[in-house]
Amino acid sequence: MKKVIAQIGVFILKLLGFTPFWLIYLWADLIFLGSYYLIGYRKKTVIQNLKNSFPEKTDQEINEIARKFYLHFADLVVETFKAIQMSEESVRKRFHYKNPQVLDELYDQGKSIALLSGHYGNWEWTLSLPKVIRHQVHVIYRPIQNETFDHYIKSVRSRFGMFMMPARISLRTMLELEKSGQLSATYYLTDQTALKDTDYWMMFLNQETAVFPGAEKVASRFKQAVVFMDIQKVRRGFYEVEFTKLFDDASQTKEYEVTKAHTKFLEEIIRKRPELWLWSHKRWKHTRPEEIALK
């Protein structure tokens, strides 16, 4: 029965993907009205996260950021559905990579890349990345328990050549890539909630935050360059991506230097346009144990 329900759900999602842009943004307006004014979807979490992150702002300023966040969040929801059926031409038109030459230069130098970003802007439309750069693009992910939805999500995200790499075999896969000489760009969303027993804590958005250093460890192990991907919203339905090289070789850095650098870089981006970050995410649900020092 669960499989049948999942198959129906996937069928509905595919139908939504054929909806024209003018109509999906009409839906987005309705989602905004419902989530912000009627239901108040995770509104307490959003407001509290904003207040903790920006104690210097007034209640009026916090509420305005929250309102703008819900507007963007509604767009993000419908744009995720639309990604299912968007053509390569449409993605290229709406999701512009400003300076892919940064990655081209690293490719010419024979360097694989740790490509870092956060839940900011529209991370779902990065599925077009393999059509823009020469590196083989990999995303480390945790499979969904429901096999039907897991297969569907993998098929959507990989339809332009992105390789979905299950976390349990990611190291083995990357070792095989290294032996084959294939240059890769491993894509991470680095602002995921870290495990409770994570031993690296730092200040992020005015709060003690556990940060998982996995991207740094992998990048160091494979001597990868570290590049941050900043995804800015230009206007509704249009985004611009800018790459910034943080390190030429992660193996030549001090312990946690990469983790601290990319976390601070993301924070600077968020502070400039806070409404584009995923504030509904319960990022600070863990408390730092007394025996672990703040880095």
**Per-residue confidence (pLDDT) for residue 141, from 0 to 100:** 76
**Per-residue confidence (pLDDT) for residue 7, from 0 to 100:** 61
Backbone angles phi, psi at 21, to 5 degrees: -60, -40
Please name the amino acid found at residue 122. Answer: N
- Asked if 188 and 117 count as a contact pair (C-beta separation under 8 A), the reply is yes
Residue (of 288, 274, 286, 287) closest to 50 by Cα position: 274
**Per-residue confidence (pLDDT) for residue 4, from 0 to 100:** 59
Token pair recorded at residue 75: 């767009």
- Asked if 252 and 283 count as a contact pair (C-beta separation under 8 A), the reply is no
Give the count of beta carbons closer than 10 Å to the beta carbon of residue 179: 8
Q: Is residue 46 part of a domain?
A: yes
Q: What angle do CA 73, 260, 162 make, to 5 degrees?
A: 55
Considering its fold, how many domains does the chain have in total?
A: 1
Radius of gyration of the chain (CA): 19
Q: Is residue 229 part of a domain?
A: yes
CA distances from 218 to 79, 122, 215, 258 (A): 31, 25, 5, 11
Res. 5 pLDDT band, cuts 50 70 90:
low
- For the CA atoms of 283, 286, 290, 293, the dihedral, rounded to the nearest 10 degrees, stands at -30
DSSP 12-38: HHHHHHTS-HHHHHHHHHHHHIIIIII
Q: Is residue 183 part of a domain?
A: yes
> pLDDT, tens digit, for every residue of 152-162?
777 777 788 88
**Per-residue confidence (pLDDT) for residue 2, from 0 to 100:** 61
**Per-residue confidence (pLDDT) for residue 197, from 0 to 100:** 75
**Per-residue confidence (pLDDT) for residue 293, from 0 to 100:** 85
**Per-residue confidence (pLDDT) for residue 36, from 0 to 100:** 95
16, pLDDT greater than 80 = no
Q: Is residue 166 part of a domain?
A: yes
Q: Is residue 284 part of a domain?
A: no
**Per-residue confidence (pLDDT) for residue 8, from 0 to 100:** 65
3-state secondary structure of 233: strand
Q: Residue range 191-220: average pLDDT? A: 89
Res. 74 pLDDT band, cuts 50 70 90:
very high
Q: Is residue 292 part of a domain?
A: no
Residue (of 104, 109, 113, 111) closest to 219 by Cα position: 113
Of 181 and 74, the one with more pLDDT: 74
Q: For residue 111, give its domain range.
A: 2-276
Percent of the chain with pLDDT over 70: 92
Q: Is residue 232 part of a domain?
A: yes
Q: What is the mean pLDDT of the chain?
A: 90
Token pair recorded at residue 290: 């007394």
Alpha carbon distance, N-terminus to C-terminus of the chain? 49
> pLDDT, tens digit, for every residue of 40-72?
999 999 999 999 999 999 999 999 999 999 999
Q: Is residue 199 part of a domain?
A: yes
Token pair recorded at residue 57: 């702002």
**Per-residue confidence (pLDDT) for residue 177, from 0 to 100:** 77
> pLDDT, tens digit, for every residue of 223-267?
999 999 999 999 999 999 999 999 999 999 999 999 999 999 999
Helices assigned H by DSSP within the chain: 2-17, 21-32, 43-53, 59-82, 88-94, 101-108, 147-157, 170-180, 214-221, 257-272
